[in-house]
Amino acid sequence: MSSLPSESTLERLKACKGKLGLAMLLGVQLKHLTHALYGIPMPVRYAVFTIPKSSGGVRIIHAPNDRLKFVQSALAAVLQECLIEIETKSGVQRPVSHAFHPKRSIFSNAWVHRRKRFVVNFDLQDFFPSLHFGRVCKFFEKSSDFQLHPKVANLIANLATHPDGAGGTFLPQGSPCSPVISNLLTRPLDLRLRKLAQRCDCRYSRYADDLTFSSNTTAFPEAIAKLDNECWIAGDEFEKIVVQSGFFLNHAKTRMALKGTRQVVTGLVVNKQVSVNRDTYKWLRAACDSMFKKGIASRHDPRTVKVYTMARKLELKQLIGHAEHVFHARRKSGIELPAMSLMKGPELLLKRLIYYERFFAHDRPIVICEGDTDYVYLRIALAKFGHQFANLAPSKEGLPAIRFLRFTPVIGRFTGLQGGSDQLKTFLQNWDVNMAMVGDRYPSQPVILFMDNDSGANATMQILRGKKVISQDIKMMEFTHATKNLYVIFTPVPDVKSQSCIEDFVDPTAKSVKLDGKTFHPGGNATYQGKKWSDTLHYGKRVLAEKVVAENVAKYDFSLFKPILDRLDKAIADYPKQVAKIVASK
């Protein structure tokens, strides 16, 4: 006999009768829900701060208390499931709301309106402040999609809204549940405006409080927008729907863009493809150049474009966010990502920002390992013996003395690093070119390439021999200062004819462990303990590092890694001396 289908989240929400039922649905303890509702004093429920708007002015953000945020996040997840269920049941194929939805964004919102004769933008006035306690409570109680128990509707409204200090309440920006609740309360407006758009042969979309209509009709329908004394204003039928839905238009922000002029939707140009406007990209390029050359950058403000003030200071991560915005806009428009060596324009700009962030602006020495499991051993060795070395001891706050570069898809795409000696060799070869954007500036911390001292490192050693006049062979050196803040360290060997890899420093008892009848083998074509690699007989380096060693740290001796730590310590100590030499020579 087949089991009965489980109740949907929406059905379970409708079945709730009070606090206990709501707490169970949210997956939180009743005492935590009660505390979030009534136990947090009003003055500390939210931390209030402002962030600058790209169009000028500031946006007020209310960041909830951690305990309140925990419950609001659970409520947001439940309501998002309900919204998806409602949209699915209604048969919506192309949702018109694009803000705060999974897999929807400013790009999907703008895409609707590309290559149109007319594009008109409207703005809802005081969007979040207009969504007050009474409105939220009434919606969840009376809406045909919900029809919740009055107590539950009241609880949701209580969790979601906040007093405005003037006798009213509002839906605060910064709360995890405000976005989905705003989308739910605006859905009736969306349905009516969608029907109006279809009747007028237009496309409609909404991104939070931004409403956009577009059309290829000969004349734009006056029901939506019309000319009045050479100014475009909202059409009577459109504005009537907005007002009847409980909103008002900010008429000062009504904008009509005709074909042949720049048509912008949620900050993106839509005349042909979806792209960032040229002025924004020019500012971004100049801001990045300022960051590379001076270490500072300022926000985009056409009125004071050449003036830098601390109030307009832009952090590096914010700058990267802007560059990623441009990057993703080009991908959404179908522009293929070129090979790393062929990157130019926005792609090259983002690549330079990533190099700058990871290899120039880093706050601690960063180590780039040849293998993606090397850092497993080094982290354990640092935890055990780092305090014995001046430059490897954790900070007073307990932070590790060094960072390890992880081979993420982004790192692979823009640096070519995904593990392997050949990639480190190429990285070393191209270092001066890829870091040329910083000019004569020197970073505060070194970057260290850590490699096995085997035949795979021969090409890298040849590059280093060409760069340096040294008294001994690279193979035997404790570290090599390659250029600027870049160092190379190889695993120790007893003589120039020997080879070594990081697994040679692992406790032999760990390498003798059998797993499911298999023994360790480093892989490759070489023999190990007289045997070639076999999938049925052996496990490899990753299993050794992650399963055998990392899960049984207390069992093994890591003292063989001390010579490697000593090399790291000496390379880090050498970098300030190199910088001092450069400064003294100028």
Q: What is the pLDDT of residue 306?
A: 47
Lowest mean pLDDT among 100-109, 122-131, 494-503: 100-109
| pLDDT digits 0-9 by tens, 401-449 | 999 999 999 999 999 999 899 999 999 999 999 999 999 999 999 999 9
Is the pTM of the predicted complex or chain greater than 0.75? Answer: no
Determine the Cα–Cα distance for residues 151 and 156; give it in Å rounded to an integer.
Answer: 9
Residue 307 has pLDDT above 50, yes or no: no
Q: What is the pLDDT of residue 523?
A: 85
What's the mean pLDDT in 35-50?
A: 91
122 vs 106, higher pLDDT: 122
* Residue % of the chain over a pLDDT of 70: 94
Q: What is the pLDDT of residue 559?
A: 95
Determine the Cα–Cα distance for residues 273 and 335; give it in Å rounded to an integer.
Answer: 10
Secondary structure of 496-543 in the HEC alphabet? CCCCECHHHHCCHHHHCCCECCEEECCCCCCCECCECCCCCCEECHHH
277-to-73, 281, 300, 329, 330 alpha-carbon distances in Å: 35, 7, 13, 11, 12
Residue 305 has pLDDT above 60, yes or no: no
Q: What is the pLDDT of residue 312?
A: 65
- Nearest CA to 66 out of 44, 43, 34 is that of 44
Determine the Cα–Cα distance for residues 555 and 511; give it in Å rounded to an integer.
Answer: 12
Q: What is the pLDDT of residue 303?
A: 43
Q: How confident is the model at residue 542 (pLDDT cuts 50, 70, 90)?
A: very high
Q: What is the pLDDT of residue 12?
A: 93
CB atoms inside a 10 Å sphere around CB 27: 9
Lowest mean pLDDT among 161-165, 276-280, 342-346: 276-280
Residue 309 has pLDDT above 70, yes or no: no
Q: What is the pLDDT of residue 335?
A: 78
CB atoms inside a 10 Å sphere around CB 111: 18
What's the mean pLDDT in 445-466?
A: 92
What's the mean pLDDT in 556-574?
A: 96
Q: What is the pLDDT of residue 467?
A: 65
| pLDDT digits 0-9 by tens, 507-538 | 999 999 999 999 999 887 778 888 899 999 99
| pLDDT digits 0-9 by tens, 168-188 | 899 999 999 999 999 999 999
| pLDDT digits 0-9 by tens, 267-276 | 889 988 888 8
What's the mean pLDDT in 392-403?
A: 89
Q: What is the pLDDT of residue 431?
A: 94
Residue 4 has pLDDT above 50, yes or no: no
Determine the Cα–Cα distance for residues 567 and 478; give it in Å rounded to an integer.
Answer: 5
Q: How confident is the model at residue 55 (pLDDT cuts 50, 70, 90)?
A: low
Q: What is the pLDDT of residue 301?
A: 55
User: How high is the mean pLDDT of the chain?
Assistant: 89
Determine the Cα–Cα distance for residues 475 and 452; give it in Å rounded to an integer.
Answer: 10
Determine the Cα–Cα distance for residues 209 and 206; give it in Å rounded to an integer.
Answer: 7
CB atoms inside a 10 Å sphere around CB 541: 21
Which domains does the chain carry?
A: 7-93+132-170 (no CATH), 96-131+176-274 (3.30.70.270), 277-350 (no CATH), 362-507+557-585 (3.40.50)
CB atoms inside a 10 Å sphere around CB 137: 22
